[in-house]
Chain A
Amino acid sequence: MTRNGRTRNSCHLVLTAIGVVVLTATGCGAGEPGAAGSGGQADAVDGSITVFAAASLKETFTELAERFEDEYPGTDVTLNFAGSSDLVTQIIEGAPADVLASADTRTMGKLADDGLLAGPAVDLATNILQLAVPPDNPAGIATLADAARSGVKTVVCAAQVPCGTAAAAVEEAAGVDLTPVSEESSVTDVIGKVTSGEADVGLVYVTDVLAAGDAVLGINFPESSSVVNTYPIASLADSGEAATAQAFVDLVTGDEGTAVLQAAGFGAP
Chain B
Amino acid sequence: MNTAALPRWVVAVAVVGGLFLVLPLVAMALRVDWPRFVPLVTSDSARAALLLSLRTSLSATAVCVVVGVPMALVLARTSFRGQRLVRSLVLLPLVLPPVVGGIALLYTFGRRGLLGSSFSALGIDIAFSTTAVVMSQAFVALPFLVLSLEGALRSVGTRYEAVGATLGAGRWTVLRRITLPLVLPGLVSGAVLSFARALGEFGATLTFAGSLEGTTRTLPLEIYLQRETDPDAAVALSLILVVVAIAVVGVAHRVRPLDRLAVTAAGTPRRRAPEAVR
Contacts and interface: CB of A to CB of B under 8 A. Distances in A.
Co-assembled chains A and B: yes
A182 B110 contact: no
B128 A181 contact: yes
A184 B112 contact: no
A183 B212 contact: yes
A198 interface: yes
A232 B209 CA distance: 33
A41 interface: no
Contacts of B258: none
B210 interface: yes
B16 A160 contact: no
Interface stretch (A5-13, A61-69, A219-227): A5-13
B110 A196 contact: yes
A90 B198 CA distance: 29
Interface in A3-54: 6-7, 9-10, 13-14, 16-18, 20-21
Interface in B3-32: 3-4, 8, 11-13, 15-16, 19-20, 23
Nearest to A160: B228
Interface in B220-278: 221, 224-229, 231
B216 interface: yes
Nearest to B129: A181
B15 A192 contact: no
A13 B11 contact: yes
B15 A17 contact: yes
A10 B1 contact: yes
A109 interface: no
Contacts of A6: 1-4
B3 A85 contact: no
A50 B246 CA distance: 39
B131 interface: no
Contacts of B112: 196-198
A13 B15 contact: yes
A184 B228 CA distance: 12
Contact of B19 (A21, A155, A161, A185): A21
A192 B221 CA distance: 17
Nearest to B224: A185
B26 to A, nearest CB: 12
B127 interface: yes
Nearest to B221: A185
A83 B228 contact: yes
Contact of A16 (B12, B213, B221, B229): B12
B156 interface: no
A17 B19 contact: yes
A83 B225 CA distance: 12
Contacts of B3: 6, 9-10, 13
A182 B210 contact: yes
B interface SS class = helix
Contacts of A184: 206, 210-211
A198 B8 CA distance: 57
B211 A182 contact: yes
B110 A17 contact: no
A13 B12 contact: yes
B11 A10 contact: yes
A40 B106 CA distance: 55
B226 to A, nearest CB: 7
B128 A153 contact: yes
Nearest to A192: B207
A17 B16 CA distance: 6
A6 B11 CA distance: 13
Contacts of B15: 13-14, 17
Interface in A141-190: 153, 155, 158, 160-161, 180-185, 189
A10 B213 CA distance: 50
Interface in A79-100: 83, 85, 89
Interface in B178-212: 206-207, 209-212
Contacts of B87: none
A85 B19 CA distance: 29
B111 interface: yes
Interface of A: 6-7, 9-10, 13-14, 16-18, 20-21, 83, 85, 89, 153, 155, 158, 160-161, 180-185, 189, 192-193, 196-199
17 contacts: A9-B3, A10-B1, A10-B3, A16-B12, A17-B19, A160-B226, A160-B229, A181-B212, A182-B128, A182-B212, A183-B217, A184-B206, A184-B210, A185-B206, A196-B112, A197-B110, A198-B106
Pairs of residues from A and B, 5 with the lowest C-beta to C-beta distance, nearest first: A182-B210, A197-B112, A181-B128, A160-B228, A85-B228
Given A89-B227, A183-B211, 19 more contacts: A6-B1, A6-B4, A17-B13, A20-B16, A85-B228, A153-B127, A153-B128, A158-B211, A158-B225, A160-B228, A182-B128, A182-B209, A182-B211, A189-B207, A196-B112, A198-B106, A198-B110, A199-B127, A199-B128
